Amino acid sequence: MHTSAHILNEQFIDNAWVPSLSKTRRPVYDPYRETRIAELTCGDPADVDAAVAAARRAMPGWRATPETCRGEYLEAIASGLEIRRRILAELSSHNNGKPLAEAYQDLDDAIACYRYYAEAAVILGQRQGTVEDADQPNMEARRYWDSIGVVGLITPWNFPLVSSAWKLAPALAAGCTVVFKPSEVTPLPEQVLAEIVMEAGLPPGVFNLLQGDGEGIGAPMSHHPGIDKLSFTGSNAVGEAVMRAAAQGVRPVSLELGGKSPILITEDADIELARDLVMAGICYNAGQMCSATSRLLVHERLADKLYAAIDAAMSELRLGDPLATETDMGPLVSALQQSRVQHYLALAKEEGLHSETPTLALPEHGFFVAPLLYREVPTTSRLWQEEIFGPVLCARRVANDAEAIALANDSNFGLAATVVAGNPDRAESIGRHLEVGNVWCNSEQVAPPQGSWGGMKRSGIGRELGDSGLDAYLELKRITRPLKA
């Protein structure tokens, strides 16, 4: 693995590691041990220029590469990840702080994603030139799909290798060349992608990886006229900045942004299932998920029992070393994220919010925040309205499904929701009325490669995964011509 003795001052451009033109570096931390594990270049706009130039040079050849061949490259990337599964899972836990079991799930999701789009590339080749009725005498029409060009991909820190797979796999399958910026907070797992790409034999310039922060790399990428499309996952504030930058030149964007997702529990729900799904929705990855179900809407007949069950489950969580197999929840990713969540806890005290969750002892070190359930939170509370990105659950009791749906939809966000009901048909009926992109009925949150990911309202623009994920990197072309004599 290329880490330059943990001094990450090189960029991967044109299939080679080259020194960054930036002399400024920033630290990378282990969030459990609170130790510095690497120094990362902040990046420079000239690095972006070089990467975009390489991607543009590679574009004609990669676009002309047969789809079946592109699929073979993606299979090779999946195999490269699989070979390094244990190493990458441990590296992700070390850099991100998530428990090892979750890191292994991430690796498996990423591998499956590359394999799915390897097959999708083959299917794309079979679809090229699809004949359809031209609706004109003696004429026919054919459909073709061309790659959109050079794409800029920017991913967050909460799901290393997964968020990147959701973008890289369909972009490469579509015939795009890429300039990829992973998060500066969790750069170590993504570094390995360059090594895998080299082993897979991708032509120079098809994949370019730039390490750095928003100022050194992110903003210059967003404004670069040589990038034909931008795909960003992260905060709303940065997403809006990316969209403003993309307006110059009328370049398309895909944005996967924030969430304040609800979980709705009906009076006939199985209480143990409801408890487990509530816990998974707010404590997985220490609540650092855009889809975290951080607003609990529970029928008044079940509320007190469910609150008590959640408090008991939270008090039994084992917080600790993410590399230890017995750990249920690791630390937050950074001291900054910890302070952000603690700020909301201070706001809760100011607002007089009520919690009966037993105080959970925290490890002696690490950026931990203990999970908390606040009961009967007013809808005017900032904790109810704003994305916290930590293990903080706000709850309200409701009288019926209509009230639950209305409160669930009363949000600026619309990414996801969970519904737990005794009758699956009732759960689905409730889900149909929710203004979100994904609804899980009596199920944990799953996002398979063939699915769909994205939201409504301020949760973003466009969809990832499935056919929609591939279409995001393609331009549809229709050619009409006379019928052959």
Active-site residue list: 256, 290
Q: Where are the alpha helices (DSSP H) in 84-233?
A: 85-96, 100-127, 162-174, 188-200, 219-223
The residue whose two tokens read 């789809």 is 67
- Residue 183, classified by CB atoms within 10 Å of its CB into exposed (0-12), middle (13-18) or buried (19+), is buried
Q: 71 to each of 106, 248, 456, how far by Cα in Å? A: 21, 33, 31
The string of DSSP codes covering 359-417 is: PPPPPSSSS----EEEES--TTSHHHHS---SSEEEEEEESSHHHHHHHHHSSSEESEE
DSSP category for residue 215? I
Contact between residue 187 and residue 28 where contact means Cβ atoms under 8 Å apart: yes
Beta-bridge partner residues of 144 = 477
At position 271, the amino acid (one-letter code) is: I
Residue 65, C-beta contacts closer than 8 angstroms, at least 6 positions apart:
175, 203
Both structure tokens of 138: 């003696």
Both structure tokens of 248: 């110059």
Helices 67-83, 85-96: axis angle to 10 degrees equals 70
Of 210, 243, 229, which is closest to residue 44 (Cα–Cα)?
A: 210
Contact between residue 114 and residue 169 where contact means Cβ atoms under 8 Å apart: yes
Task: Name the 3-class secondary structure at 189.
Answer: helix
Distance CA 368, CA 319 (A): 8
Contact between residue 463 and residue 454 where contact means Cβ atoms under 8 Å apart: yes
Number of residues in the chain:
485
